[in-house]
Structure 1
Amino acid sequence: MEFQKASLRTGSSRCTDTVEQEQIQKRTFTNWINAQLSKRKPPSVVLDLFTDLQDGMRLLDLLEVMSGQSMRRERGHGVFQHRGNIETALNFLRSKSVKLVNINIPDLIEGRPSIVLGLIWTIILHCHIEELASTLSFGSRQSSLESLASLDSLPSSTCSSPVLGGSPVPRGRSSPLHARFRLSAKKALLLWVRDQCHKVGCSISVKDFKSSWRSGLAFLAILCSLRPDLVDLRLALRRSSLHNLEEAFRLAEQELHIPRLLEPEDIDVSDPDEKSIMTYVAQFLQYSNDTPSPDDDLQLPAAPSPTCLSPLNLPSYFTPAVTASPLHQASPSQKAREMACWLQRAYQELEEVWSSTAGAGYAERYQAFQAFVSSFYEQRRPVIPVLSAIKRSPTASREQIALRLAWSTLEQKLQQYNTELDVCLPAPLDTLGRWLQRVEAVLSEEGGAAKDHSHAAREAREKQEQLKVLVQDMGRHLNTLHVFSNASANEATWVPPDKLDELRRRFTNARVTAKYYGIKLEYREQRHTVYELLGQLNAKLKAWKGPYSSQDSVRFLLQDWHETVDKQCLVSLLKAAVHKLKQTASTYTSKAALADDAQMVSRQVKEVEGEVFTSAERVMAVRGTMGRVLAAWESYRDCLFSMQVWLGQQTDSTEATHSTGKEDSLREWSGLHAHLNEVGNYLIESTDASTSYGLADELCKVNMQWADLVKRTRFAMAPTGPSVPACAQAAQALVEEAGWLAREPVEVSSGALRTYRKRLQVMLKKITEVDLEVLAQSPDCSTETLEDLKLTLPKVHAACELVQRAASLLEGRLAELGHWGTEVSEALDTLREWERRGNPGLRPRVKTQISRGLQLEGQVVTADQELQAAVSSTQQRSRLPYLSTSGLQDRVREAVAQSKVWDTKCSPLFPTQPMNQWCSPGMHS
């Protein structure tokens, strides 16, 4: 019982802590948003974070301020408009490669606190903190490296998106999993804080963004670093935490104009909120970035021409920071031109350094190169945001293009010389340097845009083989590191200790990374192998499913099906490949170091498994279809030949026309005639255009012969009696034909009904012209029958017109749904290709396209219901034709079933919300 009470108290405490943390984040994020919205013209404001973002308008205001771009907005204040605004905002974030996890439009419209806070934190982190952290460079290389080492133990879950910190080593020297100088925004911001504390001699240890800030000394140390005249740290040591925090927040707001996002009571607790503190501290970094140094202000007027300056040991009055300073009144093009000039001079200086040490020892050349790199990386900071802005800009000026070219040229040269420093190491370290180069080249290569899945699978397999060969040499190179003697005869060192430390770190990174990268390569190979086999099967399916051209072509395709499925066992091979892929994926997702990819891998496996299942089902279904089509061809040929021979005999035989057995013979052949039309219509629907036209023409000729024979037979079989005038007999035959036409079965389709209505119109015109006195001379036909037909045929025509409109609407919906299926297939292929390249920007468009398909499916169901109602209403009337809807119903069932298949295939891509919930209720029948 005591244990249960303690558990309840603990749970209650946790809930209270969560609510308090939520309130602190809500207040901090609201203040931060309002600080950004105050820059907007006209300014806007958020009063309640959870309700004021529901319409998406203020969210768009915020993104406009952060990006400087205008956002499209929906007119109106309904839920549809709110959804449109929020979707525009989320699509914009995705287009900027911002990863949105479990952030859905309905949750934002409902104002769910956890979702709203998660979205705002994502915006703050990616659009504010990371942008600021990406410009950081640190003055002391050695101290920065030590700080980096101490940061390795920090958790990276808070912000895992990497940005390049102030590394003196060019990009590309690190492995994918353990990047040596790649910092998260959190680590870069914390490193900047440590540098500020170190500058003012503050001994406080800032290890995190939680309890390290409770005393208020860290805030005051940053203030002292930015404005030494504001703070006396000696007094702060004797004050309480609340007093220090209040003093820091007051000075920041009054003197630095930094918005007061927090209150002392938010920080002076046992577990302060990390995200709130990071958001507030980022304001100080922004102030630091926006404020030019005093030296720049004093010495700028005397700055000489940049073309005369060397990047090494530059005077403080000219570095790229001058061109980025607000005090340097220059146009963007002029600033880009000056930065490009500085980079070109740096390139020349680098070549001079390298050539001047050509005859020197390894240690001297390495130290000269590192001296240049250290100086360059300290001064390059203002160039980085300018380059980032150029990348984001849709168009670039000539000066900006020159700046980008100068930057890439210098980076390539740094990479080249860094590589040469590896391969020119004294023996036997030179073999280790070359080995590291090869290993890191394999580990740093991501799967590029492969021409096809076969090529991608082969590429992944080749990389695995390369990696296996390189890993086999790992023990030998490790031994080289251990036994290498770094002293010459005169006790001078061959290789600088820094370089040896670098080699050891890189070797450790390669050893750890190779293990996990091998798993990734194996998964990549298996996935592309599955898609290669699936592509082969789908290519076969495309041919197998028709439309077909002839009986021989169907026979050939059926033989090809047996060759592919029964002999080559393509379906079995595909299922075995999927099984192997699932095993590889299980190994992949079980590794903690690869946990970030687990959700993506699971989704991909589920997606490919669904595609394989669907294709396998279609393979078996198409086998039955081809069998039915082949049987229909054989039956059609036999029936057609027999019917043509018999009809020819009846036409040639004049005596048979008056035979008493003629009517019995007609009844016997009518069944064959009906079967001929049944299989003929089935073939017309299953064959290509030219073949179906030929079949339709062939059937039409046979049916005309049959109709003529029936008319002549009925007329000849008229009962004998008193002599009836020929005109009366013709009138009687016309009335009988009109009666048959009114009761003739009709297939429900827009084409068949249109033809039938034209025949009704012609017949109505003919019987209207019949003379009643002439008809009265016929003993077997009354004038009442004629009058009744004159009233019935227009009713039949009107009823068929109603059904034809409904059938035409349904056929149009079916055509749209079929076209949508083709579009969504292509869109999914494009989406997979984009996401394989790391670009999720197409996902919202595909989701919208899939939602449209669900709307079309609902429209098909509605149109089908309307057609059934029209047919049912028509059939309830007497003396109207029998309307057969079987063919159209088959098409509806097939279309809806295919739509469900796409639903199943697309569900793994959007697991957070079932597809059948994307549309309004009642859309599905």
Structure 2
Amino acid sequence: QREFTQKKTFTSWINSILAKHSPPYVVSDLYTDIQQGHLLLDLLEVLSGQHLPREKGFITFQCRSNIENALTFLKSRSLKLINIHVADIIEGKPSIVLGLIWTIIFHFHIEELARTLACTYSQPSPDCPGAVDSSPKANRAAKKSAKIKERWKMSATKALLLWAKEQCSLHGSVSVTDFKSSWRSGLAFLAIIQTLRPGLVDLEKAKARSNKENLKEAFRIAEMELNIPRLLEPEDVDTVNPDEKSIMTYVAQFLQYSKNLPESEEDMQEKVREAVGWLAAQEKKLAKLLVETENETYYQKYKEMMSFMETFNQEKVPFLPVLSSKRCEAELSEGQQQMREEWDKVISQINEWKAKLDQMLPSPLDSIEAWLQEVERLQAEDLPDLQDPFKAMSVFREIIVIFKGLMDCFDSHLDALQSFKNEDEKNMPLVLPEKLEEMKRRLFSNIRSTNPSTFLEYHYGLCSAIANEVKLKLNIWDVKYGAKEAVESLLENW
């Protein structure tokens, strides 16, 4: 299934690139079409803007020569082509062909885009207004900025993931932690579209729809309104373990779209001034509301907060382009710096308010909410870097021990939540039904569905660690040891 999805996605991506070739070229069967070498050379010429040497014929030695020219060009750009040989491409071996195309996509498409973001993420993004802030305090962010920037240089995958998180963070509880199960509901795609083109998506309605409906809608809007080629189908993503490379290839197109958006500096500054004024008004409105509801019941306080957030999110839409705009600190105008400060103040107030309300939940909902937040905090943390598999394994083990301890409470919390009687002695509701539904949704869709991903990553890392150790030993063994006793001693040590 993974191979089938990659073939389909990569073929669509190649066709979107070769549409710019003169004359345009359309791939019908990737494994067959690549065997002549012309497809590879056409693709690399469009991506690099360079003219590459080629044989014009289709005889075997000419096809081999064309493929060799393509691989030589890739190696000249310092790309590592591990186990990719001319003979395997001529035979159209699926794993080799897909591996080669992924290398090309990652280098020419994803890494190139990620490089443009290194400066962007030298500053932390605005926090998510739809959830209690569990991230480190703002005054520690500056110390981490250099590490964040360096990490972006090292990993284009993390760069793209952080960008996706940024786009989704402006839309409440839409969380992105990977390029797998985080995209299954379709909400992440819709949130990115809403950030890039406010008004095209109704996220509240989307939360009530099925995964397939949301994915179908997201792909349709992206294709029709953003002119982003439809590389995926709903069934490719709405599965237990979606293909990471296919999703990354598709998400990168949204980043490409954001880079191509026109921006007038004068218009931007005017929007920034309007945003600063609006944020200052929200801060005052929120402070007043906190005072006015101080002596109200939990039910009434939460109702007021829901009303405020609904209005806040509606009024926020026109300001999304400036709120999500990313620049280096040195490039920020005085107005943009002020806007960031005002945004941080408002979000901090909202998170503080939500935290207090969560602590006021009637028992046992208060302990369930605290448990949910702890699990979500753990899920949101970056997974260990597998560049050092053995070090990553020890970190993974710690995460899994904590995870297992938390998940031991899953069934009891689920029973308590489902059996909770939502009325007081006067038969009045204790908690808004929307809050109960939100907690159930987080329990089922966020926690139950994503729990296995960490364990899958752990075992993937474990296999990588063993594979690395085997390679290391094989390299050591690549000499003549002579005597039988020396070999037996070597094996015993192993």
Alignment TM-score, normalising by the size of structure 2? 0.51
Q: Which residue of 2 aligns with 1:497?
A: 433
After superposition, the Cα gap between the structure-2 partners of 1:170 and 1:419, relative to the gap in structure 1 and judged at 3 Å, is: farther
Distance across 2 between alignment mates of 1:413 and 1:382: 21
Q: Please tell me whether the aligned partners of residues 486 and 493 of structure 1 are also in contact (alpha carbons under 8 angstroms).
A: yes
Equivalent runs, 1:66-105 vs 2, <5 Å: none
Cα shift at 1:344: 4.0
Higher relative contact order (Cα pairs below 8 Å, separated by 6+ residues): 2
Distance across 2 between alignment mates of 1:378 and 1:344: 16
Cα shift at 1:171: 6.0
Equivalent runs, 1:35-54 vs 2, <5 Å: 46-49=22-25, 54=42
Q: Once the two structures are superposed, what CA deviation does each residue of 1:217-236 show, in whole Å capped at 9, x if it has no partner?
A: x99xx8xxx9xxxxxxxxxx
Distance across 2 between alignment mates of 1:56 and 1:614: 34
Q: Please tell me whether the aligned partners of residues 354 and 369 of structure 1 are also in contact (alpha carbons under 8 angstroms).
A: no
Q: Which residue of 1 aligns with 2:404?
A: 468
SS at match of 1:488: coil
Q: Please tell me whether the aligned partners of residues 176 and 182 of structure 2 are also in contact (alpha carbons under 8 angstroms).
A: no
Cα shift at 1:457: 6.0
Q: Please tell me whether the aligned partners of residues 275 and 339 of structure 2 are also in contact (alpha carbons under 8 angstroms).
A: yes
Q: Once the two structures are superposed, what CA deviation does each residue of 1:866-920 show, in whole Å capped at 9, x if it has no partner?
A: xxxxxxxxxxxxxxxxxxxxxxxxxxxxxxxxxxxxxxxxxxxxxxxxxxxxxxx
Residue 466 (structure 2) pairs with residue 605 (structure 1): yes
Q: Which residue of 2 aligns with 1:396?
A: 331
Q: Once the two structures are superposed, what CA deviation does each residue of 1:788-815 show, in whole Å capped at 9, x if it has no partner?
A: xxxxxxxxxxxxxxxxxxxxxxxxxxxx
After superposition, the Cα gap between the structure-2 partners of 1:116 and 1:615, relative to the gap in structure 1 and judged at 3 Å, is: closer
What residue identity is the alignment partner of 1:417?
W
Q: Please tell me whether the aligned partners of residues 169 and 175 of structure 2 are also in contact (alpha carbons under 8 angstroms).
A: no
After superposition, the Cα gap between the structure-2 partners of 1:481 and 1:87, relative to the gap in structure 1 and judged at 3 Å, is: same
Cα shift at 1:84: 8.8
Distance across 2 between alignment mates of 1:519 and 1:340: 44
- Provide the alpha-carbon RMSD of the alignment: 6.3
Distance across 1 between alignment mates of 2:81 and 2:354: 39
Cα shift at 1:516: 1.9
Distance across 2 between alignment mates of 1:337 and 1:87: 49
Distance across 2 between alignment mates of 1:401 and 1:508: 39
Cα shift at 1:405: 4.1
Q: Please tell me whether the aligned partners of residues 363 and 495 of structure 1 are also in contact (alpha carbons under 8 angstroms).
A: yes
Distance across 1 between alignment mates of 2:320 and 2:442: 26
Q: Which residue of 2 aligns with 1:508?
A: 444
Q: Which residue of 2 aligns with 1:374?
A: 310
Cα shift at 1:104: 8.1
Larger Rg: 1
Distance across 2 between alignment mates of 1:401 and 1:427: 42
Q: Which residue of 1 aligns with 2:371?
A: 435
Q: Please tell me whether the aligned partners of residues 426 and 494 of structure 1 are also in contact (alpha carbons under 8 angstroms).
A: yes
Residue 179 (structure 2) pairs with residue 183 (structure 1): no
Q: Which residue of 2 aligns with 1:363?
A: 299
Q: Please tell me whether the aligned partners of residues 439 and 467 of structure 1 are also in contact (alpha carbons under 8 angstroms).
A: yes
What residue identity is the alignment partner of 2:448?
V
Cα shift at 1:606: 1.3
Q: Which runs of 5+ in 1 are unaligned?
A: 1-17, 34-44, 62-72, 92-99, 132-140, 142-159, 199-204, 227-257, 263-274, 292-323, 524-584, 586-597, 626-925
Residue 175 (structure 2) pairs with residue 169 (structure 1): no
Q: Please tell me whether the aligned partners of residues 343 and 407 of structure 1 are also in contact (alpha carbons under 8 angstroms).
A: yes
Q: Once the two structures are superposed, what CA deviation does each residue of 1:647-704 show, in whole Å capped at 9, x if it has no partner?
A: xxxxxxxxxxxxxxxxxxxxxxxxxxxxxxxxxxxxxxxxxxxxxxxxxxxxxxxxxx
**How many residues are aligned here?**
361
SS at match of 2:23: coil
Distance across 2 between alignment mates of 1:376 and 1:471: 34
What residue identity is the alignment partner of 1:169?
G
Cα shift at 1:472: 3.1
Equivalent runs, 1:316-715 vs 2, <5 Å: 330=266, 332-333=268-269, 335-381=271-317, 383-386=319-322, 389-391=325-327, 393=328, 395-399=330-334, 400-447=336-383, 460-509=396-445, 512=448, 515-516=451-452, 519=455, 523=458, 585=459, 598=460, 602-611=463-472
1:59 to 29, 33, 47: 47
What residue identity is the alignment partner of 2:283?
Y
After superposition, the Cα gap between the structure-2 partners of 1:359 and 1:449, relative to the gap in structure 1 and judged at 3 Å, is: farther
Q: Please tell me whether the aligned partners of residues 182 and 188 of structure 2 are also in contact (alpha carbons under 8 angstroms).
A: no
Cα shift at 1:365: 1.8
SS at match of 2:172: coil
Distance across 1 between alignment mates of 2:375 and 2:45: 50
Q: Please tell me whether the aligned partners of residues 393 and 462 of structure 2 are also in contact (alpha carbons under 8 angstroms).
A: no
Q: Once the two structures are superposed, what CA deviation does each residue of 1:53-85 show, in whole Å capped at 9, x if it has no partner?
A: 648454246xxxxxxxxxxx7x99799998797
After superposition, the Cα gap between the structure-2 partners of 1:182 and 1:171, relative to the gap in structure 1 and judged at 3 Å, is: same
After superposition, the Cα gap between the structure-2 partners of 1:195 and 1:513, relative to the gap in structure 1 and judged at 3 Å, is: closer
Distance across 2 between alignment mates of 1:342 and 1:81: 58
Q: Please tell me whether the aligned partners of residues 189 and 215 of structure 2 are also in contact (alpha carbons under 8 angstroms).
A: no
Cα shift at 1:486: 0.8
SS at match of 2:285: helix
Distance across 2 between alignment mates of 1:55 and 1:610: 34
Distance across 2 between alignment mates of 1:406 and 1:358: 24
Cα shift at 1:30: 4.5
Cα shift at 1:369: 1.9
What residue identity is the alignment partner of 2:47?
L
Q: Which residue of 2 aligns with 1:553?
A: none
Distance across 2 between alignment mates of 1:350 and 1:180: 35
User: Sequence identity of aligned pairs in percent?
Assistant: 17
